[in-house]
């Protein structure tokens, strides 16, 4: 609940900030701002290494010397990122046909350095399921820069507002991490720690670059072969698609990684917890996808304004592909809990199978929506490969993973069929209502058909009937029933 509240605040702030910027900036400036995330995602190495997850997974992750070694490795990665940004900015600016703005891309090196100087204590707390500090580090800067979004956008009137907000956010997060740390910030060189970190991190670094191709590759091609006004609605739809995924994925990864890691040697318990993770991911992915596919056009107009009318088809196709990207969270977290950081890398490599098709369409300057629909095939393939590797390396039965994937495909297809009946041509209010009804129907079906969700629903209902909402929450948490004596 703490993670959910922090994530809701953070994502709501990000959501509101994007609304403000999209409405105050021109499509061209919003398109230029979209290239900032491309550059950061491409060159920022410290996040790609998965250091926070390694602190949770490694048995020595609580040792002071281990955390100090993490700090040194993070700073080295951040310094390399900053150098790469400074060198690559002019070339990327020329590629995007914005050479006069190369200075703005160079300024993103500050973002990389701030991230490399963050204190790792807030990640160490996750080992003990203490998520408050991490929630504060993420939520407080998001709220502050959202409050500053309108004044800065009004003052600058162009992409410089976004650049200022990005730098401010990274600086604030860095300061917050040091304020909430319990141990002094220090650097220590330990060859054994560095070796283990690099062994764990190199597949994640490769996966990070591959994910750039997955999440940003299509936008990179759009920025190269299309105009900035054409990139803007696509980037806006991609941001809207990923917002709930980042929220839910962050919560699930933070909670389930330490819980799965604790039973990594107990195969029955590990499989049982994996099924619970997969059920939660499937339910989330199905409900969010239904709402975004059916209500895509309405959401784009409500969030970004009338100038984005007609771009709901981008959101629909991107949400369909994202459904299987969400489902892949479960095997990825399970594999990481057992020290297998290659699962994500290999499955993401398979996801890139769709990128050549996007390149062909971009070279032929096909309609932008055709590029958006290519990801569905790649994400389904990547999801299947991830399941297969999880069975081969970690012994998880394949049917456990494939059955939810099949039903998710059916739900995505049904949502697309409903949207094709003319929902996108109706007023936005109708689209929102149609999407909401679809979410409600699918949610009820899932609760009735999935054993794990049905059990929790029955437990909560029985607890509420006997003792109100407090008893319902106690039952879900596994507490003893009201008036039931404690075990001797």
Whether the predicted pLDDT of 48 surpasses 70:
no
pLDDT at position 216 is 66
pLDDT tops 90 at residue 172: yes
Among left, alpha and beta (phi > 0; psi -120 to 50; other), residue 50 is left
Higher pLDDT, 183 or 487: 183
Confidence at residue 414, expressed as pLDDT on a 0 to 100 scale: 92
Mean pLDDT of 292-296: 90
pLDDT at residue 480 is higher than 60: no
Q: List, for residues 362-372, the tens digit of each pLDDT value.
A: 888 887 777 77
Q: Determine the Cα–Cα distance for residues 379 and 372; give it in Å rounded to an integer.
A: 12
With DSSP H G I counted as helix, E B as strand and the rest as coil, what are the percentages for the chain, rounded to 5? 85, 0, 15
Rounded CA gap, 159 and 30, in Å? Answer: 7
Mean pLDDT, range 233-256, rounded to an integer: 78
> What gap in Å lies between CA 376 and CA 382, rounded to an integer?
10
**Position 387 confidence tier, pLDDT thresholds 50, 70, 90:** very high
Q: In this predicted model, what pLDDT tens digit does every residue of 146-161 receive, in sequence order?
A: 999 899 988 888 888 8
Split at pLDDT 50, 70, 90, the class of 213 is low
Q: How confident is the model at residue 47 (pLDDT cuts 50, 70, 90)?
A: low
Per-residue pLDDT band at 46 (split at 50, 70, 90): low
pLDDT of amino acid 49: 65
Q: 369 or 167: whose pLDDT is higher?
A: 167
Residues 285, 279: Cα–Cα separation, whole Å: 10
Q: How confident is the model at residue 136 (pLDDT cuts 50, 70, 90)?
A: confident
Q: What percent of the chain has pLDDT over 70?
A: 91
What's the gap between Cα 226 and its chain centre? Answer: 26
Q: What's the mean pLDDT in 182-209?
A: 78
Q: Are 181 and 122 in contact (CB under 8 A)?
A: yes
pLDDT tops 90 at residue 475: no
481 has pLDDT over 60: no
Domain extent listing, the chain: 1-189, 215-476
pLDDT per residue over 51-71, tens digit each?
A: 767 777 667 777 888 888 888
Which stretch, 20-29, 256-265, 355-364, 399-408, has highest mean pLDDT? 399-408
188 phi and psi, to 5 degrees? Answer: -140, 135
Summarised one tens digit per residue, pLDDT across range 76-99 is 888 888 898 889 888 888 877 788
Of 109-113, 218-222, 235-239, 285-289, which gets the smallest average pLDDT?
218-222
Structure confidence at residue 212 as a pLDDT band (50, 70, 90): low
Question: Rounded distance, CA 442 to CA 291, Å?
Answer: 10
136 within 8 A of 181, measured Cβ to Cβ: no
Q: How far apart are the first and last CA of the chain?
A: 30
pLDDT category, 144, cuts 50, 70, 90?
Answer: very high
Identify which of 261, 319, 314 has the alpha carbon closest to the alpha carbon of residue 292: 319
- The pLDDT of 100-122, averaged and rounded, is 87
Most confident of the ranges 2-16, 89-103, 376-390: 376-390
393 pLDDT tier (thresholds 50, 70, 90) = confident
Average pLDDT estimate for 391-413: 89
């Amino acid at each position: 609940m703490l993670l959910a509240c922090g994530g809701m605040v953070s994502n709501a702030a990000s959501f509101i900030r994007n609304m403000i910027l999209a409405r105050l900036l021109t499509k061209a400036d919003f398109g230029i701002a979209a290239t900032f995330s491309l550059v950061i995602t491409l060159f920022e190495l410290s996040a790609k290494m998965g250091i926070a997850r390694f602190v949770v997974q490694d048995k020595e992750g609580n040792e002071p010397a281990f955390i100090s070694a993490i700090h040194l490795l993070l700073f080295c990665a951040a310094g390399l990122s900053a150098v790469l940004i400074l060198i690559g900015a002019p070339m990327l600016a020329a590629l995007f046909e914005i050479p006069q703005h190369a200075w703005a891309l160079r300024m993103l090196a500050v973002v990389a350095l701030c991230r490399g100087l963050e204190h790792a204590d807030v990640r160490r707390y996750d080992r003990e399921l203490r998520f408050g500090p991490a929630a504060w580090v993420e939520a407080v800067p998001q709220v502050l820069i959202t409050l500053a979004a309108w004044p800065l956008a009004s003052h600058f009137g162009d992409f410089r507002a976004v650049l200022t907000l990005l730098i401010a956010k990274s600086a604030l997060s860095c300061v917050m991490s040091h304020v909430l740390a319990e141990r002094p910030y220090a650097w220590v060189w330990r060859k054994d720690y560095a070796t283990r970190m690099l062994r764990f991190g190199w597949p994640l670094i490769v996966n990070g670059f591959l994910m750039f191709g997955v999440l940003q590759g299509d936008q990179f091609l759009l920025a190269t072969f299309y105009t900035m006004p054409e990139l803007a609605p696509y980037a806006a739809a991609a941001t809207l698609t990923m917002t709930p995924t980042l929220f839910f994925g962050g919560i699930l990864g933070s909670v389930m990684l330490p819980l799965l890691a604790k039973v990594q040697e107990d195969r029955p318990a590990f499989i049982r917890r994996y099924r619970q993770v997969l059920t939660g991911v499937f339910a989330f992915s199905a409900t969010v996808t239904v709402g975004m596919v059916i209500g895509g056009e309405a959401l784009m107009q409500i969030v970004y304004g009338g100038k984005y009318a007609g771009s709901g088809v981008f959101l629909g196709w991107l949400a369909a592909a994202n459904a299987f990207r969400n489902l892949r969270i479960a095997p990825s977290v399970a594999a990481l809990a057992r020290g297998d950081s290659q699962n994500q890398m290999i499955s993401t490599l398979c996801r890139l199978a769709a990128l050549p098709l996007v390149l062909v369409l971009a070279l032929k300057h096909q309609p932008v929506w055709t590029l958006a629909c290519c990801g569905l095939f790649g994400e389904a393939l990547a999801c299947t490969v991830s399941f297969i590797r999880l069975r081969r390396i970690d012994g998880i039965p394949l049917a456990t993973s494939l059955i939810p994937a099949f039903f998710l495909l059916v739900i995505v297809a049904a949502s697309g069929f409903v949207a094709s009946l003319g929902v996108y041509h109706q007023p936005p209010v109708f689209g929102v209502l149609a999407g909401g009804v679809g979410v409600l129907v699918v949610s009820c079906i899932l609760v009735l058909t999935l054993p794990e969700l049905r059990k929790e629903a029955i437990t909560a209902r029985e607890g509420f009937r006997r003792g109100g909402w407090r008893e319902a929450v106690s039952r879900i948490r596994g507490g003893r029933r009201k008036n039931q004596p404690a075990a001797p």
